[in-house]
Amino acid sequence: MAQPAGSGAAIEVAGGNRTSGPRTRRRRSASALSLVTSTLSAATLWAAGLSGAAAQTATAPSAGHSLFAPLAALGPDVLIGLALVLGLIAFATTTAIVHVRFRRQALERETFAFGEISRLEAQIEEARALLLAEPQIVVVWRDPAAEPEIIGNTPAFTGVAAPGRILAFGAWLAPSSAREIESAIDLLRRRGAPFATTLATQDDRHVEADGRPVGSAVILRLRDITGVRLDYARLHEGYRALDAESSAVRALLDALAVPAWVGDAAGRLLWANRAYAHAVEARDGADAVARDLALLDKTGRDQAAQARSEGKPFAARLPVVVAGSRRVLDVQEVSTTEGTAGIALDATEAEAVRVELAHVIGAHRRTLDQLATAVAIFGADQRLVFHNAAYASLFELDPAFLDERPTDTATLDRLRAARRLPEQADFRVWRDELHAAYRSLEPREHWWHLPGGRTLRVVTAPNPEGGVTYLFDEVTERLALESRFNSLTRIQSETLDALAEAVAVFGSDGRLGLSNSAFARMWKLEPAVLKRQPHIDLVAEACDPLTADSVVWTRLRAAVTGIEARVPTEFRLERTDGSVFDGSTQPLPDGGTLVTLRDVTDSVHVERALVDRNEALVAADHLKSSFVSHVSYELRSPLTTIIGFAQLLDDVAIGPLNTKQRAYVTHITESSAALLAIINDILDLATIDAGTVALELGDVDVRTAMQAAAEGVRDRLAEGGLRLAIEPGNAAGTFRADAKRVRQILYNLLSNAVGFAPEGSTVTLSAERRDGEVMFRVRDLGPGIPPEIGERVFDRFESHTAGSRHRGVGLGLSIVRALMALHGGSVAIAPAPGGGTLVTCIFPAAGAGRAAAE
């Protein structure tokens, strides 16, 4: 039987192909499968061919010998079966061959796979060895939920025993580096952000950290830095530290409330904080730098430049304008290799305090120098710092010796040599005890009994700044006075007992400590009761039946036992028998209270009679004022009519008058005008008394008011041949007052002066502005004001002609005083220097007048 075409070739190709690799193995499998398929196809075709040939032979036998003649004799079924058997034999043979070949190829592939595994493992070990050739740690995160894989010798690298603890960066890294790496790893794992940085360990090593994503994994590599990279890392770490320190310093300086700045070597501004910008009125530090605004003036800048040129730091207290205000600053500026840096501290308050302290110390020393108590102050070095005149006088020390600032020991030796110290058996021990004040915190008191009988009370008081202050008080006379005081106390006790006034002294506990016999007689108290020193409550209980008003004793108890408001009080006590006593309480220094009672029964009776009489006089004066006011009102209307008709008669349009008639009319007019002026004055006083005068306050021009008042007396000046001098002085301008009333005041003063001025003399009206006040002065050269009537000239209806031409009812000056009181001012009259009278009116320039009289 012939084999299927191509089968051997397929087997040979399959057997001869030994190329390794996945693609070759796939080609070999495909060839074997193709071989089996071809064999099956060939066997099938062969069986089909035999069957067809047999069938053909049976249907059409040829005449001669045929190839298929023997087959035809077997029959179609036998041929088909034979073909199938032969096909199966061929398939089995082919399958066996393929199986042997596949087995050989599988053995070859297994051997190749083991070789590849060994090679890869060798490569892995080599890579691991190369990876661990330098000290480093590799951390791999393949799954976010799984633990990371840590490669490397973690104990040798970090000093942390457990490998997993390497990720506890705070355990082996510096705090700042730990925070930095934790933040970077968090961003790497969440966002895949790679990083590379240098970290500092707690043992001053530097580690390079490199993190990056690799496929789906995240890798962190940590390795030690050595050599040049270590130097660079250290420089970088130093730079970062310096940058952080510089940023912190600048932030601190920018937050300070004092100006701070940095400049270059030429003095130009490079940086300034917010306080500096505020001081130079810039928007911010950048604006101040851009505009190169200088805080110091030219003098200060020149001084700073001079210090820089000499290589010295500049420190000075300078006046500087800060945000428009003049301040005093302590300026400190230092030079660096690249420029300058400065700061200015506000010393305005400190300078004021220093000046004030200097004044206080000076005043304190001047005060001490005026004391009768001897004072000597020794400093911390035990040298004399200050002494007053009483100290030098008390111990009769030479001023030249004191000016040398002697030590405390030298001073005591000098006093001991002059026998001005107490005699001591062991002077050194006594001196050491005295000098213990330099180490003490509390003042000490000593008593020195000097030779010659003098006694000194010495107080040594430690000073807060070191040293001791000695106070020497000579008490020789005081001791003598105490002895005399004790004797005088006994005398005074007997004297009090002889007084007609009742005297009682209650102690701070409210008990009666001292009383005289008048007190016992007044309240009918038994001496035995008083000796038991009864409490104020028992005394009040015993005296209350004789008192008309028991409230008085309640107040007395409060005054004696009260501890809050201890002030002197006065009271009046009336008894049931009609007697009246004036009493008083006086707090004593020891906490006690002195109570005195004086019988004023007769005085009270006289006082009541005088009060009744005064009330009658007041009522009569009020009746008189009412009568005068009423009559003045009633007279004003007919008087106005008389003046009107007199002026009408004097008018030439009515008809001519002869000389005598015109003289009569003129006399009527002048007399009526004078009477009207008197009535108007009376009405003004009545209005003021009624409290209905309202001031119309406004700006009053001084010169205009003086001219208006002068215009009113011009005719009288001409009649008397007088001159009027108006001197506004420095009072020119305005002040707040009622212009009409000011003219009335000045007119009345000028009228009074014209009436007293001798013929041909000068009346002066002057003004002056001083200390917020405006003063008007009117002076005449008349006979002057006698001292005995100086205060009465302002009373109503007081008129003193003193042989002058002045005539009047005495109301002009009364009106002046009343109107000045309404303006809140004052008026005074006094003899003028060189003769005459000077009247002064003082107005408040701001206008303190009342709206109406009260």
Tens of pLDDT, residue by residue over 755-765, are 888 888 899 99
Asked if residue 661 has pLDDT above 50, the reply is yes
Residues in the chain: 854
Asked if residue 190 has pLDDT above 80, the reply is yes
Give per-residue pLDDT as tens, 739-751: 988 988 898 888 8
Asked if residue 766 has pLDDT above 90, the reply is yes
Rounded mean pLDDT of 731-736? 86
Asked if residue 776 has pLDDT above 90, the reply is yes
Asked if residue 79 has pLDDT above 80, the reply is no
What Cα–Cα distance (Å) separates residue 547 from each residue in 558, 577, 586, 800?
A: 17, 9, 21, 55
pLDDT of residue 237: 72
Asked if residue 558 has pLDDT above 90, the reply is no
Kindly indicate the confidence band of residue 281, based on its pLDDT and cuts at 50, 70 and 90: confident
pLDDT of residue 775: 92
pLDDT of residue 851: 43
List, in order, residues 6 or more apart from 214 with CB less than 8 Å away: none
Single out the residue of 439, 559, 443, 582 nearest to residue 510, CA to CA: 559
List, in order, residues 6 or more apart from 633 with CB less than 8 Å away: 683
Neighbouring CB atoms inside 10 A of 10's CB total: 20
Rounded mean pLDDT of 310-326? 84
Q: How many Å apart are CA 641 and CA 636, to the nearest integer? A: 9
Kindly indicate the confidence band of residue 578, based on its pLDDT and cuts at 50, 70 and 90: confident
Kindly indicate the confidence band of residue 9, based on its pLDDT and cuts at 50, 70 and 90: very low
Asked if residue 395 has pLDDT above 80, the reply is yes
Asked if residue 790 has pLDDT above 70, the reply is no
Highest mean pLDDT among 19-28, 331-340, 805-814: 331-340
- Return the percentage of the chain with pLDDT > 90, whole number: 7
Neighbouring CB atoms inside 10 A of 433's CB total: 12
Phi and psi, residue 712, nearest 5°:
-70, -25
Q: How many Å apart are CA 538 and CA 555, to the nearest integer? A: 15
Helix, strand, coil proportions of the chain in percent (round to 5)? 50, 20, 25
Asked if residue 160 has pLDDT above 50, the reply is yes
pTM over 0.75: no
Tell me the DSSP string of 335-384.
E-SSEEEEEEEE-HHHHHHHHHHHHHHHHHHHHHHH-SSEEEEE-TTSBE
Q: How many Å apart are CA 652 and CA 159, to the nearest integer? A: 137
List, in order, residues 6 or more apart from 838 with CB less than 8 Å away: 777, 778, 779, 829, 830, 831, 832
- Return the percentage of the chain with pLDDT > 70, whole number: 80
Rounded mean pLDDT of 597-622? 81
User: Residue 584 corresponds to which tokens in the numbers above?
Assistant: 């008083």
Q: How many Å apart are CA 31 and CA 551, to the nearest integer? A: 142
**Of residues 203 and 824, which shows the higher confidence score?**
824
pLDDT of residue 19: 40
Domains of the chain as residue ranges with CATH: 7-112 (no CATH), 136-237 (3.30.450.20), 256-346 (3.30.450.20), 368-474 (3.30.450.20), 482-599 (3.30.450.20), 615-690 (1.10.287), 691-844 (3.30.565.10)
8 A C-beta contact, residue 850 and residue 798: no
Long-range contacts of 37-40 (CB under 8 A, 24+ apart): 38/4, 38/6, 38/7, 38/10, 39/4, 39/7, 39/90, 39/91, 39/94, 39/95, 40/87, 40/91
pLDDT of residue 31: 58
pLDDT of residue 852: 39
Phi and psi, residue 534, nearest 5°:
-65, 155
Kindly indicate the confidence band of residue 133, based on its pLDDT and cuts at 50, 70 and 90: low
**Of residues 630 and 413, which shows the higher confidence score?**
413
Question: Helices H, strands E: what count in the chain?
Answer: 26, 27
Asked if residue 841 has pLDDT above 90, the reply is yes
Phi and psi, residue 473, nearest 5°:
-120, 115
Asked if residue 777 has pLDDT above 90, the reply is yes
Asked if residue 68 has pLDDT above 70, the reply is no
Kindly indicate the confidence band of residue 778, based on its pLDDT and cuts at 50, 70 and 90: very high
Asked if residue 96 has pLDDT above 80, the reply is yes
Q: How many Å apart are CA 322 and CA 331, to the nearest integer? A: 13
Q: How many Å apart are CA 773 and CA 278, to the nearest integer? A: 43
pLDDT of residue 194: 92
Q: How far apart are the first and last CA of the chain?
A: 164
